[in-house]
Amino acid sequence: IQLEQDLRQALQRSEFEVYYQPKLCASTNDFCGAEALIRWNHPVHGLVSPAKFIPLAEENGIIIPLGEWIIRSVCEQIGRWRRGLVPTRKIAINLSALQLESDTFVASVDAILKETGTPTSLIEFELTESMVLRSPDRSVNTLTQFQAMGITLALDDFGTGYSSLSYLKRLPVNTLKIDRSFVEGLPHAKDDAQIVQMIIALAKSIRLEVVAEGIETEEQMAFLKRLGCDLLQGYLIAKPMPAAAYESLLQARTAGG
């Protein structure tokens, strides 16, 4: 209860911070972007996990202003990196179902991008199948508008939802993110290995980019590279980190070659 009240004030008190988790491009072995992950520095409880407060924010509607704050915050950061000639790459932002269902969401994203001068090619949205299935026609419409603007879309936690292949065919997405529950058992768990192999083959056959998340071991990474997974993400490569640390990582890569 207290946490929910605190959540209402946390935005004004600037207690949120965006962390960035790098994604590695398998073909070049270079960083090719990052996923933005929100963190709440609570004055009493310390770092509170988004797994805990995002559901609360969805229940009480705070996710709408909070979601806008996250997008604006990422765009402003991209602007600082661009002005500082930091080799900025695409940043993926997680969406909530309520944002996707909001009538004003597309316009609000458009306004934030314009105000901050952010190229749409530097923004990706991550969404899940279950979010889309809540109101499929409406979601498809919204997603189509984002793609038309130049924003790319990734289907998060892929393989854990209920969507049929016919849904996938209709869905305007650019990327599949293999859920980390399938990556966990690689390469030894036979079922996981076959599911992952199938998802990568499926993605390639319908010309979608494919990302594996939750990579924690060299063996997992080698297996995914061998299958032709395009992008790699997980603690093995890097944990989610503050903007300054992500920036240092990019600078070091560029300087070191």
51 sits near ligand G (criterion: CB under 6 A)? yes
Considering only residues 156, 192, 230, 247, which one is a binding residue for Mn ion as defined by CB under 5 A? 156
In angstroms, how far is CA 115 from the centroid of its own chain? Answer: 22
Q: Number of C-alpha atoms within 13 angstroms, CB side, residue 65?
A: 11
Residue nearest to ligand G (CB): 234
Q: Name which of Na ion, ligand G, Mn ion, none residue 214 binds, using a CB cut-off of 5 to 8 Å depending on partner kind.
A: ligand G
Instruction: Closer to Na ion by CB, 77 or 94: give it.
Output: 94
Instruction: Closer to Mn ion by CB, 50 or 79: give it.
Output: 50
96 sits near ligand G (criterion: CB under 6 A)? yes
54 sits near ligand G (criterion: CB under 6 A)? yes
Considering only residues 131, 142, 214, 224, which one is a binding residue for ligand G as defined by CB under 6 A? 214
Instruction: Closer to Mn ion by CB, 156 or 247: give it.
Output: 156
- As measured in angstroms, the least distance from the Cβ of 209 to ligand G is 16
5 sits near ligand G (criterion: CB under 6 A)? no
124 sits near Mn ion (criterion: CB under 5 A)? no
CA 160, CA 196: separation in Å to the nearest integer? 12
129 sits near Na ion (criterion: CB under 5 A)? no
In angstroms, how far is CA 53 from the centroid of its own chain? Answer: 17
139 sits near ligand G (criterion: CB under 6 A)? no
100 sits near ligand G (criterion: CB under 6 A)? no
DSSP the chain: -HHHHHHHHHTTTT-EEEEEEEEEETTTTEEEEEEEEEEEEETTTEEEPHHHHHHHHHHSSTHHHHHHHHHHHHHHHHHHHHHTT-----EEEE--HHHHH-TTHHHHHHHHHHHHT--GGGEEEEEEHHHHHHSHHHHHHHHHHHHHHT-EEEEEEETSS---HHHHHHS--SEEEE-HHHHTTTTT-HHHHHHHHHHHHHHHHTT-EEEE----SHHHHHHHHHHT-SEE-STTT---EEHHHHHHHHHHHHHH-
Here's the x/- map for ligand G, 147-166, by CB under 6 A: it reads as: ---------xx---------
CB 23 within 8 A of CB 31: yes
- As measured in angstroms, the least distance from the Cβ of 111 to ligand G is 19
- As measured in angstroms, the least distance from the Cβ of 242 to ligand G is 13
118 sits near Na ion (criterion: CB under 5 A)? no
Considering only residues 126, 129, 192, 247, which one is a binding residue for Na ion as defined by CB under 5 A? 126
State the number of binding residues for ligand G (CB under 6 A): 22
Instruction: Enumerate binding residues for Mn ion (CB under 5 A).
Output: 156-157
Instruction: Enumerate binding residues for Na ion (CB under 5 A).
Output: 94, 126, 156
